[in-house]
Structure 1
Amino acid sequence: MDSLNLTNAEPDGELASGRERLILALNSGSSSLKFGVYRVTGDRVQKLISGEAQALGTQAGRFEAINAHQQPLVGESVPMITTKHALHEVERLLEQTQSGPLDGIGHRVVHGGPALRQPCRINKQVLEQLQQVIGFAPLHTPMALSVIEETSRHFPEVAQVVCVDTGFHAQMPEVACVLALPKELREQGIQRYGFHGLSCESIVRRFGSSLPRRLIIAHLGNGASITAVRAGQSVDTSMGLTPCGGMIMSTRSGDLDPGVLIYLIRQKGLDVAAVETLVDRQSGLLGISGLSADMRSLKIASPTQADARLAIAMFCYSASKQIAAMMAVLGGIDTLVFTGGIGENDAEVRANICNGLTWTGLHLDSALNQSGSDLISTLESTCTVRVFDSREDEEIARHTWQLIP
């Protein structure tokens, strides 16, 4: 499939390193909207405000924001909060903090299909492409499009940029991205794409000149993926055509025998909508445990609930297998990085995953792992193990800065 002829896909003119811009980065989920306000000057990205509108459209709605010093600016319950309300709150915070008018707005979009694999200015053609590929990420893309539409109404004069999460993986070799399907389907864009690309990009940037040649990134959160990076380039990753593939996640099944889906359709009478709900919303940690999709809740329940223990064990087992597979892809490993909500905050899960990899010579330092240190491996470990926070929104801000006038 041919790529889109994207207008403004490259910066206009020369990028002067002193060109300062105020950028709003928006990261929409299925029921939440995270945001960050950044002052960007070349390679320098300064966070001014960050926050989240949670549980959109429900009675449990909440809006929170903090400043650059982690001090709360607002934290209040807002039942039935909408994207429109959230954007009004962001605008109010800009006025309150005297940050100045926005120069650009960047949006994280999970999937742009085969034609949209790089950051670009939003125009009619880009929006049409995103509409056409909703089926690749039905949990995420409709919300992202809704946010883009509302943002365009609220800030009509501000340039907007879309940053696709598949971009980091766009150069994966054929052996990793081609699916074992007839060629005519492959030509329609049915392939392995990979996700969490902005997160991976932020991890690679953190290393700078000390980037290890063989890096594995374990992004573990509600969505979870394992990515093999060689010399800064993604060469394989656990997610596939959609963000549902790969390892076990909070409510997503991860990889399944295709025969399971055929059986459910033929023998149990499930239609497409029921199968989609099953694999995207009812499986993973929630499906195994029958209790919760939240790792924290499962750990509380695990002393008395066997299925909660099983869910945790299967999650860690799934991650260990995927990491070992990426070691095979890279011919070894120099550094393993944990990131994402679970990866950054759950020392016990990190330890359980790494316990499944001690045969490789990888060893954690228990005290460092519990302490919140960014380096958590022993001196004797054959590779380093680190914990980095994911900085997707900073990457969105950088890409937006590059593409606005």
Structure 2
Amino acid sequence: MILVLNAGSSSLKIEVFDAALRSLIAGSVTNLGTAGALKLGEASTAIETRDHAHALALMLAALAEAGYPLASFTAAAHRVVHGGAILTQPARVTDPIIKTIQSVIPLAPLHNPNNLAGIDALRATAPEMPQYCSFGTAFHATNPDVAIRYAIPKTQHDAGIRRYGFHGLSYANMVADFGDALPARLLAFHLGNGASLCAIREGQSIATSMGYSPLSGLTMGTRSGDIDGAAVLRMSKSLGEDETDRMLNKNSGLKALAGDNNMKTLLERDDPEARFAVEHFCYWAARNAGSAIVAMGEVDAVAFTGGIGENAAPIRDRIMDLLGCFGELPVHVITADEEKQIARDALTLMAGGH
């Protein structure tokens, strides 16, 4: 069995998979550092945690009580948001790999430290257990230089200012789910509170809408999507850097346009603001899609995943209406499952003797 961990700033999520990638049980610890809850399967218990290590200890105890003791796991696997330009493949956790993850913390200061906290906590508890990590940016490492490079001085590019792309584990899982039926040129949408698209040709990412950070690209739940750098500089002068960052990432997107970032609620509303927000979301998804199709040269099919992509048929229909200029295209809906992809990566590495 593989224990998959996803350590966030205030939560620890786990899922257990067998060798056939069947999910056996899933759970989470919420509100780390304060009063929260431990959920495992159908059970939920109010708890109070100190940090990731304490949350992991409580989760491992709950797993053992549920019939999944620590000794029953062959390995553990972790989600790491950012691998930078170096970590472009899943890897076994070693001291050099940890140092490399630490080196790219400036690229993901809110995520990589928490991902590392989960790795460190399990290493301290079970030092002999093989651990693996999968990177949210790695799938896009196949993008050509012309898609990655911003037209800025080389000194800034060499300092790490370039397009990386995100949601890579979701897109990798989509490719695996298609198997031999994977279309040669697939336009893939991951639509949720965070939203992106990816041009996938012959199973590889060749262009994606997110860039240096997850802020760019499509209109999202609370993120602005693409915005002129000069506008950001102007806002930063009046609001300050931190407040501008907070506004663009936490208080923009659908939330700014209609006061709500819940697409289900917006679709149920019938006021001008809600209708405009929905149209804005679909328009910019389709407009970015045109760019992705140019990168592929053509498009054979479209696939949707993510909370909105899977569950909001009106959104899929409107985006496809806007893409009607490309002809009738097959549409697929794929269940998002990053945890399954992380387990798949670990099993692949283990099969190769790593």
What is the root-mean-square deviation of aligned Cα atoms in Å? Answer: 2.3
1:32 and 1:342, CA in 2 relative to 1: closer, same or farther beyond 3 A?
farther
Partner residue, 2:4? 25
Q: Is the CA contact (8 Å cut-off) linking 2:8 and 2:115 kept in structure 1?
A: yes
How many Å apart are 1:221 and its aligned residue? 1.3
Partner residue, 1:18? none
Partner residue, 2:256? 287
Going by fraction, where is helix more abundant, 1 or 2? Answer: 2
Q: Secondary structure at the match of 1:170?
A: helix
How many Å apart are 1:342 and its aligned residue? 1.1
How many Å apart are 1:58 and its aligned residue? 5.6
Q: Distance in 1 between matches of 2:267 and 2:199?
A: 29
Work out whether 1:395 is the aligned partner of 2:341: yes
Q: Distance in 2 between matches of 1:32 and 1:85?
A: 9
Q: Secondary structure at the match of 1:353?
A: helix
Q: Is the CA contact (8 Å cut-off) linking 1:25 and 1:35 kept in structure 2?
A: yes
285, 288, 291: which one pairs with 1:322? 288
Partner residue, 1:62? 37
14, 17, 20: which one pairs with 1:35? 14
Partner residue, 2:66? 96
Q: Is the CA contact (8 Å cut-off) linking 2:199 and 2:208 kept in structure 1?
A: yes
Work out whether 1:187 is the aligned partner of 2:158: yes
How many Å apart are 1:170 and its aligned residue? 0.7
1:392 and 1:313, CA in 2 relative to 1: closer, same or farther beyond 3 A?
same
Q: Distance in 2 between matches of 1:224 and 1:140?
A: 18
How many Å apart are 1:224 and its aligned residue? 1.1
Q: Is the CA contact (8 Å cut-off) linking 1:53 and 1:81 kept in structure 2?
A: no
Q: Which amino acid aligns with 1:303?
A: D
Q: Distance in 1 between matches of 2:104 and 2:68?
A: 39
Q: Secondary structure at the match of 2:134?
A: strand
Q: Secondary structure at the match of 1:45?
A: coil
Q: Distance in 1 between matches of 2:331 and 2:107?
A: 33
Q: Secondary structure at the match of 2:207?
A: strand
Q: Which amino acid aligns with 2:25?
A: I
Q: Is the CA contact (8 Å cut-off) linking 1:137 and 1:243 kept in structure 2?
A: no
Partner residue, 2:206? 235
Partner residue, 1:310? 276
Q: Is the CA contact (8 Å cut-off) linking 1:227 and 1:326 kept in structure 2?
A: yes
Partner residue, 1:47? 23
1:112 and 1:98, CA in 2 relative to 1: closer, same or farther beyond 3 A?
closer
Q: Is the CA contact (8 Å cut-off) linking 2:56 and 2:122 kept in structure 1?
A: no
1:344 and 1:53, CA in 2 relative to 1: closer, same or farther beyond 3 A?
farther
What percentage of aligned pairs have identical amino acids?
Answer: 38
How many Å apart are 1:78 and its aligned residue? 4.2
Q: Distance in 2 between matches of 1:87 and 1:24?
A: 14
Q: Is the CA contact (8 Å cut-off) linking 2:6 and 2:118 kept in structure 1?
A: no
Q: Is the CA contact (8 Å cut-off) linking 2:216 and 2:226 kept in structure 1?
A: yes
Q: Is the CA contact (8 Å cut-off) linking 1:45 and 1:394 kept in structure 2?
A: yes
Q: Secondary structure at the match of 1:394?
A: helix
Q: Distance in 2 between matches of 1:346 and 1:133?
A: 35
Q: Which amino acid aligns with 1:391?
A: D
111, 136, 144: which one pairs with 1:173? 144
Q: Distance in 1 between matches of 2:200 and 2:97?
A: 29
Q: Which deviations, in whole Å up to 9, do the C-alpha atoms of 1:270-305 show, x marking residues without a partner?
A: 33322221222222222222x2322233334x324x
How many Å apart are 1:33 and its aligned residue? 3.0
How many Å apart are 1:138 and its aligned residue? 2.9
Mean CA deviation greater in 238-247 or 150-159? 150-159
Q: Is the CA contact (8 Å cut-off) linking 2:7 and 2:117 kept in structure 1?
A: no
Q: Is the CA contact (8 Å cut-off) linking 2:85 and 2:141 kept in structure 1?
A: no
How many Å apart are 1:242 and its aligned residue? 1.3
1:80 and 1:345, CA in 2 relative to 1: closer, same or farther beyond 3 A?
farther
Work out whether 1:114 is the aligned partner of 2:85: yes
1:62 and 1:348, CA in 2 relative to 1: closer, same or farther beyond 3 A?
farther
Q: Which amino acid aligns with 1:394?
A: K
- Superposition map of 1:6-405 within 5 A: 22-40=1-19, 44-57=20-33, 59=35, 61-66=36-41, 72=42, 74-78=43-47, 83=52, 84-85=54-55, 87-98=57-68, 101-266=72-237, 268=238, 270-289=239-258, 291-300=259-268, 302-304=269-271, 306-361=272-327, 382-404=328-350
Q: Secondary structure at the match of 2:13?
A: strand
Partner residue, 1:368? none
Number of corresponding residues: 349
Q: Is the CA contact (8 Å cut-off) linking 2:40 and 2:62 kept in structure 1?
A: no
Q: Distance in 2 between matches of 1:82 and 1:337?
A: 38
1:87 and 1:36, CA in 2 relative to 1: closer, same or farther beyond 3 A?
farther
Q: Which deviations, in whole Å up to 9, do the C-alpha atoms of 1:298-345 show, x marking residues without a partner?
A: 334x324x3333222211211111222212222221111100111111
Q: Secondary structure at the match of 2:72?
A: coil
